[in-house]
Each structure stands twice: as structure tokens, then as C-alpha cells.
Structure 1
């Protein structure tokens, strides 16, 4: 983080009654201040050569480019991405709850692109992993020696019947998995608090980025109505396609307690199939297994306010390239089949993949990307040097579940679903929500993303 940005955040903290000296001591004790304020240092330097193509200019793509530029003496890096803006997507929940303004969460993509990278502002339509080339919409075929595959997820809005991206908000059906959608959600949340009624909140049956987001906006809605004296007018209900609310036992107990304390029923094994926006009805399928029998029960629920999570998958070109296949089978939703520790593709050893598109058994979060990037970059360089990849990723991910305006249950865990605390709360009981985690979430993670992670030193 740049010094002036840190001072700005500390000034903002003091306006909210947070003692800056106390907070700085807490941050420094865990070494986080060093992480976000120290200029990037070369972990090593390599003479390895080869044409690297990076598909995707989000958190993983730009962070990888920055690391490789720093560690390769003669880097040859092309990054393909069509975006004009770089979004800090974890901020969408905070837009939808009135904490952030829309302009707080994005910067021009050109200002985030590392110097020394050739940026092809275009969309990828195909990848040929046999002939080592990428096809784009406007720039034709681009060859590579090594490929970094980080295009993120494809959001399949149309897989919820009655919904399209262009009609988000119609019938008071909202989703914060979209920049404009988050803004519409905030406006609707305020109106819902005034008028009252029945609110439904859903996740989805596919793997999806920021799995905690639907839980966060549900709890923030509840807290907002309590703070505005309208909670008794609101009936909130949470629907999950899973057989449990959360699958990390260390944090699940407290999360279940919070939903119980707030009087928010949890409905399990409920898959949202469609929304009748004119009638304000959500169509679910309750899917249960009894022995070898799969039982599907249709259910229709009326609502006044709906927040839903759309199904997600790897982009179509990933599926079509066969990069989601392993052992002759197509991976669920075509997530890229990489070794879960080295992040190297299981069939094509000149391809590394990480971030949301990777088919690894951990959460799709920017915190996971932050840990994956240096491992993937070092392993890619080893491959370029003709060596075996030796760096290992333990599955670390973090999901800061905002429980109210002022507290966050900061869930950090590994592949084994054990706690893996890395942020400055090792002396606190991280199985419970903390005000310090709220401060971290609201004031420090965003500048850490833009000024630390994207620049290759956080």
C-alpha cells in the first residue's frame, strides 16, 4: 500500500472512533504492515526464456504478470483481456450494503497493467493446447510457449429460468455478483427495509466465486433493518443448494448460531431453478438422496425481495479446448484440471492455471489467489528452466463473512478444512466474529489489492 493511501485509511478509522496507534500495533504484530508497505523484493532471478501468454487480466492475471516481470531477467509476456476497468469484486457486497460507493471499487485497467507487459485488449475465443496457440476475436492467433490460464468464471445468468443479465432487478430479483447489480441491490435493500415483507437469499448448485457473498448480504440486510427499527416487518429466509450452511467446521458452529440468533431459517438442499419476476415467485427443487434414489420435490416460494446467486462455470472456450478433462472425464462445469498443489495442468505441462477457473477443491476467493500466485509463478519458471515444479499450495483460502455493520467472521482454512490463520488475529478467537476483521475488510484489503497484490508484492 502506498504511504498516502495508508494515511487516508487511518484517518478514516479515527473518524469512526478507532485508535490508530492500537490498530497499527495489532497489524504490525502480525507482520501485515510489512506485507502491504514494503516495496517488492526479488525472491530470485532467472535466465529462463520463453513466450508467456496470460489469458485474463483480473486478480490472478495481473498479479502473475507482475511476479514474472520481477523474477525473469528477460520476460516476454503477453496478457489478453478485453476489460477497460479493474474491479475489486469483494467490494460489491459493501456497495450493496451502502458501505462503499460504486466508484470505490474500480480503477482503469490501463493504470493497473504492469509496465513491460504487452496488453492485447481482446477476447479469447479458443485455445489449442496441442499447437500452443490462442485465438482471439480481433487479433487472430497468438502463439505461446507457456500459458497462464486465468480467465475467471463465466456467470450463467440464463440458467436461472426467467433471469437474464439485462433484466437484473426486475421483479425485485437482485444479485451482487455484478457491478450494476450490486448498486441495484443497495437501492432495493433500503426500500425493502421501509416496506417490509419476505426476503429470500439463495446460493447455487455450482462452485462459485466468493461463496460467502449470499450469506453476507443476508446478514447485512438483517442488521440494517434492526438498526432502522424495521426488523419486525421483515421475514428473512436462506436457501442453500448444499446439505449444510458451511463446510468448514471450525467456523460453522458460530455461523449457525448467528442465523439462529437472528431468526433466519436455513433451508438445505434447495436449488433455485427459476424466478417468475412478474408474480414475485421463486421456483426451487428440493433434492434429496435416499439410498440410491434421488428425490426431487418442486417448491414455489413467494417473495418481496430476492437475492440470488447465479450458476457459474469455466468459460466456454476452456470447455471446448478440453482443458477441463481429466482421466477421460469432463470436470464439473469444465474447471481447469490442474494438480492441486503445483497448479500445473495434468495433461499439458506448459500450462498453469489458478484463481477462479482452476479445478481445485478450495474456495474461489481473491485471498486464495494471493497465496496461489507466487507458487504458480515459481513453478512456471521451473518449467521454463526444464525443471520439475516443486512449490506446493496447501489450499489456503479466506472468506471474510460480514455478520453485521462492524463485525466479520474471518474464515481462513486449507485443503483439509483446518483453520489457517494468516491475517493479524492469531491472538484472537477467530471462530467468532471480530471488529478488527471488519476494519481489515473495509479499510485495508482493497488498497492491499490495488497497491500490493496487483503489483506483485502482497
Structure 2
């Protein structure tokens, strides 16, 4: 499945400097730093804390709370027993990692003493301070952390059938580990012969907004490696006038697309697909437009899960209202109307987030404020919107893009990693260093 990848000669100097610096600054340790002290004093409490969701945000919150509270009742509610390392889906779909790389057991990350209810949350009642599971079990809480993740709304695309991912030139990297493997098979077949490859992203908020761009670059590189780029046309359907939410990054991607012959159509949102005829239909400013394809990466619209949308917790106005994102203060992740409720991870109605990097910085802030409430001492911790995207631009190179609410580019490794340069170093971080850091985050150590 994997290819032998050679570092680009242009980045050898940076590579040597990076490796030389590892002795003084171990990569995983540097990546594990947070704005919150790792060893905070423990607080004795009988508080009942419910965490809805056992994805990255839920597990990280459970681990941090268990480490910092004595005698508290911490309950995690989630039916899924497998944990997915979702940042790895793109690597599986690139043919770089096996499917098993992304799958582990949720129970392996739950701290001792945390109760796990293996059911789905069916109802959230913030007025009554309780959640109800699908079996009808009511679980009361003093504090609620919403970490439900989001819903991939494939039904929002007319004609889409997730059972056909990997068939007849249709892929979708977001759906599941199995779908990532099937997408790799479909994309690899396309790279073997060429044709029309179509990419894009949905309107609205989404997780890992860089992934559709990554997969465009990855497909372009596979075509080039097989000598078939001249036989292919690559089209990227941008949902707006921009290619990325940070202007300077959007301009860099535009330049790279131009350099590599990727055609861009702006303000095109996938509306329908004919999987048999291989025709995608897009909503445009003037109506609709059809696009034939030999390979397409379908990225569905995303929204809050139904249980959250049907609760009183989403925004009622503004840009996060339509899709049901939870109304939290963007600095503290505390709900604006229900102060004993916090929202972290994909479900939080804040700008920029919805990546594992967002979780890493959001959870300590929410936990700090929750524990501050218990201890009677207000927390001053603030989430500044930090998130990051290791944007793969070809096999063996990536740009490590880090930014905040204000679109400021942040450099975790100044002098070693420049944010808008295609570097082998950033590729190594994405493919080797980030997963160990992610696992440490789940266990409350990062």
C-alpha cells in the first residue's frame, strides 16, 4: 500500500536543522504543551458530571476531570465502542496507512473510575439537568459537557448512497475507515488511467476544512508519480469566493493550484449526484451546473446531531444557528444560557474549530472553568481559537498551518517550520508524530 517517499532536495537543509533540534526539543513533548498546567491541584467534590460523547473531546475531558477531581461522579455516554483516529482517514485514502491505523477501542482510553454508558443520548434536558438515553435511562447531572461530535449529512445530497463509496469512481474520505480504504482504491484506479477528477467542500461549518484540499493535492501527486497527470483534469469546486478560511492561506493554496494546473470553480456547492452516469450537480449563484467526473471525492454537508438540534442548546440566531451548533461563549466554551453546560470539539458553535488541535486547546479551558465552579474560584483560562491543519501538498511534503480566531498565523516551531512552506518536516509530523500526541491527549497527558 505504501510508497517509498524521498524527501525533496529543497528541504534537506530544513530537515537537518529539525533533526538536530530534536535532542533539545523532543517533538512529541513540544506538541503536548498546553496553556493549562499539566499538574493542577486536585479538588475534592461529589459533583455529578455527564459527558455526552466519547470521541476525542469527550475522552480528553473525562481524562482531565478524573485526574483533577476526587470523588466526583463522571459518566461518559456513547454507544460506539470503536474509537476512530479521524485525522488518519486522509492518510488511509492516500494509500499511506492501513485501515487499522485509524481504529482502536474506546475503553482503552477511559480512566479508572469513570462510568461508561454504552448507549446513545436520546434527549438533553438542560432545564431539568438530565440527559435521557435511548433505552429511557435518565442520567442527572450537575455539569454537562457536550462532546457529541457532528453529523455527516449525506442525505443532503440528492442521489448519494454511502453504500456505493468506492464504486464507479465515487469516494468519500470522511465517512469511515472502511470508506477511506474504498476511496483509496477508487482514486488509485483513477490515477492509473486519468480522466476528470472532481473535488470540493460543502457550505457551512465542517471538520478539518483542509482535508478536501489535501486530497486534491494527494490525487494530483499520484497522477504525476504514475505519469498520467497529462491525461487528467482536476477540478476543485470551492463553496465560496475563497479556498480557505484564512486569507493568506487561501492565497497560497490558490497559487499552488495554479502552479499544478488545478481548475477552480468558485461558489459551487454539491447538491445532487448521479452515481450511475457520473454526473455531479452544483448549486451556483445563477442556478445549477453539471459536472461530469471519472473520480469524485464527496464531502457531505455537516451539522449538529439530531439530539442536539432538537434540544434548547443550539444558537437561535447568527451563522451557527441553521445547523444546530451549540451556543457557547467562544472564549470559555461555557453555554451562554445554561452556565453548567459546556460544549467542546466539533459540536461547539465557535469560529475556526472542529479539528483535533482545537480539542487539545479547548478541553483544558472548559475543564478549568468547570472545576473553578466546583472550587468556588473563577478560572481565567481563555481559548483563543487555536487550531491547526497539516496541509499535505504532495506525498512527502506538507504545510503546517496554525492560526487563531483572528486569522493570525501561529508558529509552534519558529525557525524550524515556516507555516506557508512545503516541508518534509511537516509531512513527518502529520504521518508520524501527531498520532502519539493525539493518544496522549485522549489520556489527559497533552
Equivalent residue for 1:34? 29
Equivalent residue for 2:442? 454
User: Are residues 310 and 261 of structure 1, via their aligned partners in 2, closer, same or farther at CA, if it must alter by over 3 Å?
Assistant: same
Q: Deviations over 1:317-371 (max 9, x none)?
A: 1111121034699713010010000100000000011110000011310011101
- Cα offset, 1:112, TM superposition: 2.0
**Aligned partner of residue 323 in structure 2, secondary structure:** helix
User: Is the Cα–Cα contact under 8 Å of residues 135 and 141 in structure 1 kept in the other structure?
Assistant: yes
User: Are residues 264 and 37 of structure 1, via their aligned partners in 2, closer, same or farther at CA, if it must alter by over 3 Å?
Assistant: closer
User: Is the Cα–Cα contact under 8 Å of residues 251 and 432 in structure 1 kept in the other structure?
Assistant: no
Taking the TM superposition and a 5 Å limit, the aligned residue runs for 1:66-81 are 66-81=63-78
Structure 2 residue 73 is the aligned partner of structure 1 residue 83: no
User: Are residues 252 and 26 of structure 1, via their aligned partners in 2, closer, same or farther at CA, if it must alter by over 3 Å?
Assistant: farther
- Cα offset, 1:247, TM superposition: 2.3
Q: Deviations over 1:71-102 (max 9, x none)?
A: 11223100001112111101000000111000
Equivalent residue for 1:43? 40
Equivalent residue for 2:106? 109
User: Are residues 142 and 345 of structure 1, via their aligned partners in 2, closer, same or farther at CA, if it must alter by over 3 Å?
Assistant: same
**Aligned partner of residue 431 in structure 1, secondary structure:** coil
Report the Cα distance in structure 2 between the residues aligned to 1:86 and 1:368, rounded to whole angstroms. 18
Q: Deviations over 1:435-454 (max 9, x none)?
A: 1010011011012112x111
Q: Deviations over 1:363-395 (max 9, x none)?
A: 310011101111111011112234444211000
Calculate the TM-score normalised by the size of structure 2.
Answer: 0.92
Match for residue 189 of structure 1 among 179, 187, 190 = 187
**Aligned partner of residue 337 in structure 1, secondary structure:** coil
Gaps of 5+ in 2: none
Taking the TM superposition and a 5 Å limit, the aligned residue runs for 1:291-302 are 296-302=286-292
Gaps of 5+ in 1: 1-11, 288-295
- Cα offset, 1:111, TM superposition: 1.4
**Aligned partner of residue 107 in structure 1, secondary structure:** strand
230-239 vs 68-77, which deviates more?
68-77
Q: Deviations over 1:190-211 (max 9, x none)?
A: 1101221101001001211111
CA RMSD of aligned residues (A): 2.5
Match for residue 214 of structure 1 among 187, 212, 215 = 212
User: Is the Cα–Cα contact under 8 Å of residues 345 and 353 in structure 2 kept in the other structure?
Assistant: no
Structure 2 residue 80 is the aligned partner of structure 1 residue 92: no
- Cα offset, 1:115, TM superposition: 1.7
Aligned residue pair count: 436
User: Is the Cα–Cα contact under 8 Å of residues 85 and 106 in structure 1 kept in the other structure?
Assistant: yes
- Cα offset, 1:240, TM superposition: 1.3
Equivalent residue for 1:417? 407
User: Is the Cα–Cα contact under 8 Å of residues 170 and 295 in structure 2 kept in the other structure?
Assistant: yes
Equivalent residue for 2:199? 201
- Cα offset, 1:418, TM superposition: 0.6
Match for residue 249 of structure 1 among 227, 238, 247 = 247
User: Is the Cα–Cα contact under 8 Å of residues 417 and 426 in structure 2 kept in the other structure?
Assistant: no
Report the Cα distance in structure 2 between the residues aligned to 1:333 and 1:273, rounded to whole angstroms. 17
User: Is the Cα–Cα contact under 8 Å of residues 148 and 351 in structure 1 kept in the other structure?
Assistant: yes
Calculate the TM-score normalised by the size of structure 1.
Answer: 0.90
Match for residue 429 of structure 2 among 440, 446, 451 = 440
